[in-house]
Chains A and B, each alone.
Chain A
Amino acid sequence: MLTITLREGADLGGFRQAVRRLAAARTAPDEVLWSVGAPSLFGDEAPPSEDGAPVFLPQAVGRLIETVVCHSDPERYALLHRLVWRVLNGERALLDQHADPLVHRLERLDKAVRRDIHKMHAFLRFRALPGPDGGERYVAWFEPDHHIVEAVAPFFVERFESMVWTILTPKGSLHWDRQRLMTGPPAERPDSLADDRFAEGWQRYYESTFNPARVNPTAMRAEMPRKYWANMPETAAIPAMVRSAPTRVQAMLEAEAAVPRRRMPEKAVAAMARQAPESLAELNRLIRRSEPLVPGATRAVLGEGPEGAAIAIVGEQPGDQEDRDGRPFVGPAGQLLTAALEEAGIDRGGLYLTNAVKHFKFIQRGKRRIHQSPTAGEVKHYRWWLMTELGFVRPRLVVALGATAALALSGRPVAVLRERGPMAFDGWSGFVTVHPSYLLRLPGDEERRRAQAAFVADLRRAAALA
C-alpha cells in the first residue's frame, strides 16, 4: 500500500503530480492511501522535470478535478484517483454516465463546492476602513465550508480591481492592493469590524424591501442558511421582521380604504400631456445634450435652414468637416451639393438641410478620422428625432440623399439607383436621389460628369415637385 500525503486545503498541484506518477506506474486506486496534512510525498524539492508525463484527460474531467479538490471531504483525492483510473482504462466517457455511483458522488461534491463558491461571492460583505493615503480599504471576514479561497479570488479581483481589499477566512486569506494579489495564511475572526453608515443604510434597505404579506422564512433559509448570518449585518433584523409581519398585515387588511388627504393635482396632471418639445429649438437642445448613438462623434450637428422651407434635404450623417464646424453639408460632399443646387437654379439658403444621423460616426486611424456608415439599427435610433424635426419644419417635399436617408425616412432599405425619384415617406411627399459623396467616389471623369448631370436633373425635378 502506497501512502500519499498532500498539502492541507485544495492541493491541485500535489494531486496532479501524484496522478502523473501513479499513472506512469500504473498503480491502481486500491493500492493507494491518500492523506492530508504532512509534507507532500514528492516534496517541494522535486524538480518539475522529474514530474511524470502529463496525463491526457477529457476537459470535463480536468474541470471536475479542479473543483472537487477544493472540497473538505477527506476522501476527495481517492475518489478523483478512482475516476482518473477508470477514464484512463477504457471509460473515456465515464462522466456522461450520471447514474454511475462514483460519478454521482463526484457530481455532488462538485455541486457543493460550486455552491460554496457562489455563496461566498454572494454573502461576503466588505466593511470600509480608512486606508493609507486618505482613501478607503475594504475588509471582509467569511467562513467557507470548503477550500475555496483561491477559487474565489478571480471574481473579487475582477469586480473590485480598483479597490484595496482584504478577505480573511479560517482557510486562508487574500489581499489585493490594486496591482497584485497576495495569498496569506488562515486568519482569526477579527474582534470587530467597525460599521460605517452604509452598513446601517443597508440594514434599513433590507428591512424596507421586505414584504410582510409574503413572509416565508423557510424559503429564505433554503437559500441563505443560518450559518451565513453571522457575517451579514442585515440579518440581525430578521427575527423582528418575522415576528412583526402578521400584525403588520392584519393592520393593512383592517385599515379602511384611504381617503386622499391631498387634493387632486389637476393642473400638474394636465401639464403632463405637454411634455414633447414644442419648438425646433427645444428639440435641438435635447439632441445636443443627448449621448451619441454611434461610436466616434464629438458633437451633434443639427439641421439648418428656415422652418417652413418648401424642401428639406436629408443626408446621411455629418462628416469630418461638419463635425469640426458644427454645421451640415460644409465638407467636400456639401460643396458638391451647393454647386449642384446652383446649377439647378435652387437657392441653398431657402432649403432646410439636415442628416438622418446627427453625429459623425468614425474610427480613428492615426491622425485621420475614417467615416463609418451607420448601421440600420443606428439609423433607427435617430429616427424619432428626424421625424419630429421634419414635423417642425413642415416642408412640402423631403429629399433623401442616399440610402441611409432613404432608409431613415421610409423605414425600409431602398436601392437608391433603382428607385430614385418620387417616393412617399412616412407622412411626407418624398424624393430619393444619390448622396453627393457617391459622386465623389466615382472613378472616371466621364462617369462622374454623367452622374453629376443626373443628380442636377434630380434636384430640378424635386424642386418642380415641391
Chain B
Amino acid sequence: MDDALIEKLGILADAAKYDASCASSGAKPRRGGKEGLGSTTGAGICHAYTPDGRCVSLLKILLTNHCLFDCVYCINRRSSNVRRARFTVEEVVTLTLGFYKRNCIEGLFLSSGIIRSPDHTMEQMMLVARTLRRNHGFAGYIHLKTIPEASPWLIEQAGLWADRLSINLELPSDHSLKAFAPEKNGGTIKAVMGQVNERIVEAKEERRRFSPAGQSTQLIVGADDATDRSVLETSGTLYQRYGLRRVYYSAFSPIPEASSVLPVKPPPLQRENRLYQADWLLRYYGFTVEEIASGGEGGMLDLGIDPKLAWALKNRERFPVDVNRADREMLLRVPGLGARAVDKILSARRHTRLRMEDLGRLSSGLRRARPFLIAADYHPVGGLTDRLDLRQRLVTPSSQLSLF
C-alpha cells in the first residue's frame, strides 16, 4: 500500500460516505476455511464508529467517482468540481483483503460512478466481487450497489457473488427524480428491484445462493419537497411489492461543490431519525402509514416526539392499556415499550401478575410508558392520558434517543 493508493482511498471513501447503508447482517453462514479467508455469521458487526455516530462495518468505497450522470444531489455528478480518482479491480481487492485480515471490516460495500456505460461499470464492480470470491476464497460480506441502467444479465451475475444488492431510489417520487436526476428513471429502478426480488425469492425456494441478505435502497430526505407521508408510502410499497430488507433514509447533507438547485439549508437530522422510527413501526409494530402520518400535521411527522408517542397522544381513548391482559398488538402500541419488552411481558405475566416494580425490570422505557399503562398495583390517577400537558411532561431532551 503506497501513498498514491492511500490518497485514492481518501477520495473514494469520501465520495461513498453519503450512502447510509452499512448493514453486514442477514447473510447465510459462509466460511473461507484454510484456503480462503473470512466468515459471515448472519449477525453483522460494527467494527468502529466515526464521530458522526455511524458505524463502520464494511469498507464503503466507490470504484471510481468519475461519473457521466448529473444527479444534482450527488457530490460526484459530472458537473461537480470534486477531485476524481479511480481504483483498479486489483486495488479494491487488495484493500478489502488487507483491512479484513486486520479485523477492521466485515467486508466490502462497493458502489461506483458511471464510467463509459452502466454495463461497463457494473461489470467492473462484479469483477471485484468475483475476484474476491473465486481467486481469494473470500467469505466476508459483499454488498454490491446495482446500477439500474445496466443490462439485466449483469444483475443475474452480480447476485451470485454478493450477499446483498441494493439500488438507490434516492427520491420518492418520479417527478423529483426527473428534476434532480435526469439520467435516472423511476420505472427502470423499480423494474430492476422487481427482477432482483424475483430472483431472491426463487433462489430461496430452490435453496440456491443469490443475494442471500436481500436487497435494500436509500431515500434522500429533504432535497425535494416530499412529505414524510409520501416518503413512508414509498417505503411501504417497497417493502410490500419488492420485498426490500431495508429502506435507508439519508437526510440530505450539505456537500462541498453543491449545486445551485439544492436547498441551501439541510433538513434537521431529527427528521431522518423520526423516519427511521416510523419505518420500524411500519415493519415491526403493526402500524400503517396512515396511522403514523396521523400523529403529525400536514403529512409531516412531529419532530419533537417519536411517532409512536405522537400517535398515542392523538388516540388517548385507546389507553391506558392493562399490561396483564392486553394482547401483543396493543402492547406494541404503548409508547416506551419495545418489541423485546413486550415479549418479556407476555412471557412473565404467565407466571405472575405484573406490578410496576416488575415492569421496571422488563422495560427501560417505563417513564414514558407509565401514563399509558395499568399494572396490578397501578392505575394512572385521574386519567393521566386526559391531561393536556401530557406531551410536555413526557418530552424532555434526554428521552429523545430511542428505537434507532
Is the Cβ of A204 less than 8 Å from the Cβ of B6? yes
Residue in A201, A211, A290 whose beta carbon sits within 8 Å of that of B157 in the complex: A290
Within 8 Å CB of B6, what residues of A?
Answer: 197, 200-201, 204
Which chain A residue has the least Cβ–Cβ distance from B350?
A: A96
Residue in B16, B18, B46, B101 whose beta carbon sits within 8 Å of that of A138 in the complex: B101
Within 8 Å CB of A269, what residues of B?
Answer: 68, 78
Segment from A62-70, A79-87, A258-266 that makes contact with B: A258-266
Is the Cβ of B202 less than 8 Å from the Cβ of A376? yes
Query: Bound complex: CA of A245 vs CA of B253, how far in Å?
Result: 13
Within 8 Å CB of A155, what residues of B?
Answer: 41
Within 8 Å CB of A162, what residues of B?
Answer: 32-37, 137
Interface size on A, residues (CB 8 A): 93
Q: Does any Cβ of A come within 8 Å of B362's Cβ?
A: yes
Interface size classification for chain B:
35 or more
Query: Bound complex: CA of A253 vs CA of B50, how far in Å?
Result: 22
Query: Bound complex: CA of A211 vs CA of B182, how far in Å?
Result: 26
Residue in A128, A178, A258, A275 whose beta carbon sits within 8 Å of that of B120 in the complex: A275
Is the Cβ of B53 less than 8 Å from the Cβ of A214? yes
- In the complex, how many angstroms separate the beta carbon of B97 from the nearest chain A beta carbon? 10
Q: Does any Cβ of A come within 8 Å of B382's Cβ?
A: no
Is the Cβ of A211 less than 8 Å from the Cβ of B253? yes
Residue in B47, B114, B351 whose beta carbon sits within 8 Å of that of A96 in the complex: B351
Is the Cβ of A98 less than 8 Å from the Cβ of B344? yes
Within 8 Å CB of A196, what residues of B?
Answer: 1
Segment from A215-223, A297-305, A362-370, A402-410 that makes contact with B: A215-223
Within 8 Å CB of B151, what residues of A?
Answer: 275-276, 384
- Which residues between 47 and 62 of chain B lie within 8 Å of chain A, taking CB atoms? 47-56, 59-61
Instruction: Encode contact with A along B250-270: 1 for CB under 8 Å, 0 otherwise.
Output: 000111111110001110010
Q: Does any Cβ of B come within 8 Å of A202's Cβ?
A: yes
Within 8 Å CB of A224, what residues of B?
Answer: 48-49
Query: Bound complex: CA of A276 vs CA of B39, how far in Å?
Result: 36
Instruction: Encode contact with A along B108-141: 1 for CB under 8 Å, 0 otherwise.
Output: 0000001011111000000000100000010000
Segment from A234-242, A331-339, A456-464 that makes contact with B: A234-242
Which chain B residue has the least Cβ–Cβ distance from A138?
A: B101
Within 8 Å CB of B259, what residues of A?
Answer: 257-258
Within 8 Å CB of A235, what residues of B?
Answer: 48
- In the complex, how many angstroms separate the beta carbon of A95 from the nearest chain B beta carbon? 9
Within 8 Å CB of A219, what residues of B?
Answer: 49, 52-53, 401
- In the complex, how many angstroms separate the beta carbon of A382 from the nearest chain B beta carbon? 8
The 4 closest A-B pairs by CB, nearest first: A219-B53, A377-B202, A257-B260, A99-B358
Q: A198-B99, A209-B17, A276-B119 are in contact. List 13 more A-B contacts (CB 8 A).
A: A98-B348, A98-B362, A159-B39, A162-B137, A196-B1, A202-B102, A208-B17, A213-B266, A252-B256, A269-B78, A275-B119, A377-B202, A384-B152
Residues of A that sit less than 8 Å from B by CB: 93, 96-99, 101, 104, 118, 121-128, 136, 138, 140, 155, 158-163, 178, 196-202, 204-220, 222-224, 232, 234-235, 238, 241-242, 245, 249, 251-253, 255, 257-258, 260-262, 264-265, 268-269, 271-272, 274-276, 286, 290-291, 293, 375-378, 380-382, 384-385
Residues of B that sit less than 8 Å from A by CB: 1-2, 5-6, 9-11, 13-14, 16-18, 31-39, 41, 45-56, 59-61, 68, 78-81, 95, 98-99, 101-104, 114, 116-120, 130, 137, 149-153, 156-157, 160, 183, 198-199, 202-203, 205-206, 208, 210, 253-260, 264-266, 269, 344, 347-348, 350-352, 354, 357-359, 361-362, 401
- 7 CB contacts below 8 A, A to B, read A126-B103, A159-B39, A201-B5, A208-B11, A258-B79, A269-B68, A291-B160
